[in-house]
């Protein structure tokens, strides 16, 4: 019988969890034993009894979980101490950044740990149920708009009153990936006038289907990788994009920045002059701040006031709705484990000819 385990994250940085009571039942149906550290979900209001009722074993220490488990589920990478404890030749599954986690990943590879990073999941139909980037980015885009509207000291929708008409807020979304599209949909539902821009031409139809206006760079080619992600633009495109945004930025009340390039620093799209051109009371919410930010003046977990413009950035916005994020993330992880599960032999089989396995498995030291 295989043992799947998970230990608590560093709650100062991460409130999400990898195993919820609902998915414990699913693992048990596949004949897995589930080991969790005591008080695993307490911070989210999930009591140990809920896990036990669904068949999980709660143990006293993270050491015990890591030493027994053949599959370890995480949100973020293990700490250095945890990497020393994890069982040799076990499997580790989570979201791991090649750059910030390089030292730990190399240590784990030397212990012959099979490391799967779902950040590298291919964008194919069969992998959609495992796509942690999409499930989490969807929530991030929604939450960014909610927090922006809370900081915006005016009403967002048009209102007709006896005292006069309140004009709707104008919202610009930079980057129309999963987070950006959800930001567009949320801003529209709240009554804003929404526009968006993206380096991928395919995004135009998606933006317009949600009721947004697409701002396109004249003569632009489609800057999209074969995996469906945005790729870095050349200097000519960047100049045209800057010219387009100079005019658009100063007309908008709220700007949501979501533009990211996998494995690279976030592109700087909004300059200092653009920020200063906005009306006092305007909001810039930079979802890319964890990778350097799309906007000048954005800093992680700070609100910077620049000529009356609030520039906001949260390093981990999912900590602001961790229960919903955890429910989705835990299901993504289960679906990934299920893909590794050989139904006939009732055991884990790493088929490296499977694109999902080969793309997510880290095989070499970084």
Q: What is the biggest distance separating any 2 CA atoms in the chain, rounded to whole angstroms?
A: 72
User: SS3 for 50?
Assistant: helix
**Under 8 Å CB-to-CB from 361, ≥6 apart: which residues?**
114, 115, 116, 350, 352
Catalytic: 271?
no
d(CA 34, CA 17): 14
State the catalytic residue, choosing from 128, 209, 236, 347: 128
Catalytic: 123?
yes
* H or E segment and range at residue 298: none
State the catalytic residue, choosing from 18, 69, 134, 295: 134
State the catalytic residue, choosing from 27, 131, 200, 286: 131
The answer to whether the CB of 246 falls within 8 A of the CB of 141 is: no
Catalytic: 81?
no
- Rounded to 5°, the CA angle 63-12-362 comes to 60
DSSP 223-270: -B-TTS-B----HHHHHHHHHHHHHHHTT-SEEEE----TTSPPP--B
d(CA 341, CA 348): 5
d(CA 126, CA 113): 25
Measured in whole angstroms, the distance separating CA 5 from the mean position of its chain's CA atoms is: 23
CA dist 101 to 105, 124, 299, Å? 6, 26, 21
Catalytic: 198?
no
DSSP 44: G
**Under 8 Å CB-to-CB from 81, ≥6 apart: which residues?**
none
Among residues 197, 199, 217, the alpha carbon closest in space to that of 207 is found at 197
State the catalytic residue, choosing from 129, 229, 268, 358: 229
**Under 8 Å CB-to-CB from 162, ≥6 apart: which residues?**
none
d(CA 260, CA 133): 12
Catalytic: 6?
no
Residues classed as catalytic: 123, 128, 131, 134, 229
């Amino acid at each position: 019988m295989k043992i799947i385990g998970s230990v608590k994250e560093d709650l100062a940085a991460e409130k999400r969890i990898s195993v919820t009571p609902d998915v414990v039942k699913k693992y048990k149906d596949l004949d897995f034993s589930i080991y969790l550290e005591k008080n695993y979900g307490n911070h989210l209001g999930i009591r140990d009894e809920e896990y036990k009722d669904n068949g999980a074993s709660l143990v006293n220490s993270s050491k015990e979980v890591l030493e027994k488990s053949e599959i370890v589920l995480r949100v973020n990478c293990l700490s250095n101490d945890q990497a020393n404890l994890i069982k040799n030749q076990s499997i580790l599954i989570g979201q791991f950044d090649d750059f910030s986690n390089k030292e730990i990943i190399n240590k784990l590879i030397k212990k012959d740990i099979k490391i799967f990073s779902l950040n590298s999941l291919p964008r194919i139909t069969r992998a959609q149920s495992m796509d942690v980037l999409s499930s989490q980015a969807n929530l991030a885009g929604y939450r960014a708009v909610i927090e922006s509207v809370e900081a915006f000291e005016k009403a967002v929708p048009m209102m007709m009153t006896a005292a006069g008409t309140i004009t709707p807020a104008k919202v610009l979304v930079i980057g129309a990936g999963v987070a950006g599209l959800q930001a567009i949909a949320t801003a529209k539902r709240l009554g804003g006038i929404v526009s968006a821009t993206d380096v991928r031409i395919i995004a135009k139809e998606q933006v317009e289907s949600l009721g947004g206006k697409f701002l396109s760079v004249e003569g632009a080619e489609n800057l999209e990788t074969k995996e469906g992600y945005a790729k870095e633009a050349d200097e000519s495109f960047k100049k045209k994009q800057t010219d387009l945004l100079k005019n658009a930025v100063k007309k908008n009340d709220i700007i949501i920045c979501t533009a990211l390039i996998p494995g690279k620093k976030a592109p700087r799209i909004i300059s200092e002059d653009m920020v200063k051109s906005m009306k006092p009371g305007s909001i810039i919410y930079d979802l890319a701040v964890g990778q350097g930010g799309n906007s000048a003046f954005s800093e992680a977990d700070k609100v910077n006031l620049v000529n009356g413009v609030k520039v906001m950035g949260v390093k981990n916005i999912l900590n602001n709705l961790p229960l919903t994020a955890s429910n989705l993330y835990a299901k993504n992880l289960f679906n990934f484990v299920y893909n590794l599960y050989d139904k006939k032999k009732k055991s884990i089989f790493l088929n490296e000819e499977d694109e999902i396995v080969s793309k997510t498995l880290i095989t070499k030291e970084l």
